[in-house]
Amino acid sequence: MLGPFLETLIGGLLTGVLYSLVALGFVLIFKASGVFNFAQGAMVLFAALTIARLSGEIDGKEVHLANFVVAAAILGVAVAFIGWYAWREYVARGAGPGERRKLQMLAAAGALVGGIAAYSYGKGAWPIWLAIAATAAIMGLLAYAIERLVLRHLVNQEGIILFMATLGIAYFLDGFGQTLWGSDIYKINLGLPKDPLFLFEGVFPGGLLVDPGELVAAAIAAGLVVVLAIFFQKTRVGRALRAVADDHAAAQSVGIPLNTIWLIVWTVSGLVALAAGLIWGAKLGVQFSISLIALKALPVLILGGFTSVPGAIVGGLIIGAGEKLSEVFLAPILVKQFDLAGGGIENWFAYMLALVFLLFRPQGLFGERIIERV
């Protein structure tokens, strides 16, 4: 009994790390801008689709055309952007040293993207690292577009309006990704080991069955979580982020540029989405249902709190484990007892778990008690 239990628990915890990762994307944006970003799942799907199609395999066939079109598109956008920026900085106003450095970085980014495009035109399918790098650049551009086209125009609107706007972004991204890349099921090949691993053979008869691919994926995710936590707590940018989260107006008045901060958090969230999409896609294939894992990460948020990084991590593990354990051990009992047409309770069990928890501790796992004033 203990063996299967531990196996399920480990499987659940490994999935839980992924939930933590997605939840972290939510938390970053909510903390820094008070936006409840429903597009996080769509960003995960978009990133996964982009990587899968750039690295180019559909059932073994290499796809040249799509790569070429996209590479050209990226190149075009990048060049146009740099041109516009240079014009604005030099011709219209003249540039200071900081702006010159920005421009150099942009030129470098453009050159990189151009190089990638040229490489792709020659070679067809891209190696995975290149696909990831290009996707990272695209996620940055996406963050820029979202800040520029949407958020900037909705400053000081109520939370629900911003939430609706991210729902609109989610719809747009879902449609855009699939229009651009198609809507079949694609694979991402990270070259992860596939053979099952048996651990603790001495302790349990037959050992514990663990998928090494999941182990590696969880390790990557855990690494990212740690890096982000440090970024948030220790760096200067991280401190600025937390200041913005506390009070927009106060942060602005001490000279923290709100727009830049938003651009940074959305880019970081885009990168987090990329990591989640990569791992999830490598594990289960890239398809539309990926955008629904955002929904899986939501109970993590109410459990851990919308603004707590450690909450997202621990919450993810609890939800992942609880979900798997409930499906394996509780669902069969329910099915038998109530004559159900199948289990599938993992779809709501995590929510109920989080909800019941919340009734007893409304501030979440790591939240502080709020003193209300009148």
Find out whether 241 and 31 touch, Cβ atoms under 8 Å.
Answer: yes
Q: Please name the residues in contact with 270: beta carbons below 8 A apart, sequence gap of 6 or more.
A: 43, 47, 136, 139, 140, 142, 143
Strand pairing partners for 286? 186
**Residue 182 class from Cβ within 10 Å (0-12 exposed, 13-18 middle, 19+ buried)?**
middle
Question: Which CB, 47 or 170, lies closer to other proteins?
Answer: 170
Which residue lies nearer to other proteins by CB, 158 or 195? 158
CB of 159 to other proteins, least distance (A): 7
Q: Tokens 């007893």 — which residue?
A: 360
320 and 14 Cβ atoms separated by less than 8 Å: yes
Smallest separation (angstroms) from other proteins to the CB of 152: 9
In the chain, the amino acid numbered 38 is F
- Of the pair 8, 157, the CB lying nearest other proteins is at 157
The Cα–Cα gap between 62 and 126 comes to 10
Of residues 161 and 203, the one with the C-beta less far from other proteins? 161
Q: Which is nearer to other proteins, 96 or 175 (CB)?
A: 175
Helix (H) or strand (E) holding 183: none
- Minimum distance from CB of 294 to other proteins (Å)? 11
Site residues for other proteins per CB under 8 A: 36, 149-150, 153-154, 157-161, 163-165, 167-176, 178-179, 183, 295, 298-299, 301-302, 306, 338-345, 347-348, 351-352, 354-355, 358-359, 362, 371-374
Cβ distance to other proteins smaller for residue 39 or 217: 39
The answer to whether the CB of 116 falls within 8 A of the CB of 134 is: yes
* Distance, C-alpha 15 to centroid of its chain: 14
In the complex with other proteins, which residue's Cβ is closer, 10 or 42? 42
Question: CB-wise, 201 or 247, nearer to other proteins?
Answer: 247
Q: What angle do CA 184, 190, 195 make, to 5 degrees?
A: 105
Cβ 286 to other proteins shortest distance, Å: 15
- Minimum CB separation of residue 296 from other proteins in Å reads 10
Cβ contacts of 245-249, under 8 Å, gap ≥ 24: 245/31, 245/32, 245/33, 245/34, 245/307, 248/34
How distant is the alpha carbon of residue 109 from its chain centre? Answer: 22
81 sits in the region (left: phi over 0; alpha: psi -120 to 50; else beta) called: alpha
Contact 132, 51 (CB under 8 A): yes
Q: Which is nearer to other proteins, 85 or 176 (CB)?
A: 176
Give the nearer residue to other proteins in terms of CB position, either 113 or 300: 300
Q: How many CB atoms within 10 Å of residue 88?
A: 12
Cα–Cα distance for residue pair 108/101, rounded to 1 Å: 11
As a whole number of angstroms, the longest Cα–Cα distance in the chain is 76
* Residues 152, 257 contacting (CB under 8 angstroms): no
Neighbours of 209 (CB within 10 A): 15
Least distance in angstroms from the C-beta of 209 to other proteins: 28
With the C-alpha atoms ordered 20, 24, 27, 29, is the resulting torsion angle positive or negative? negative
Minimum CB separation of residue 20 from other proteins in Å reads: 16
> Least CB distance from residue 122 to other proteins, whole Å?
30
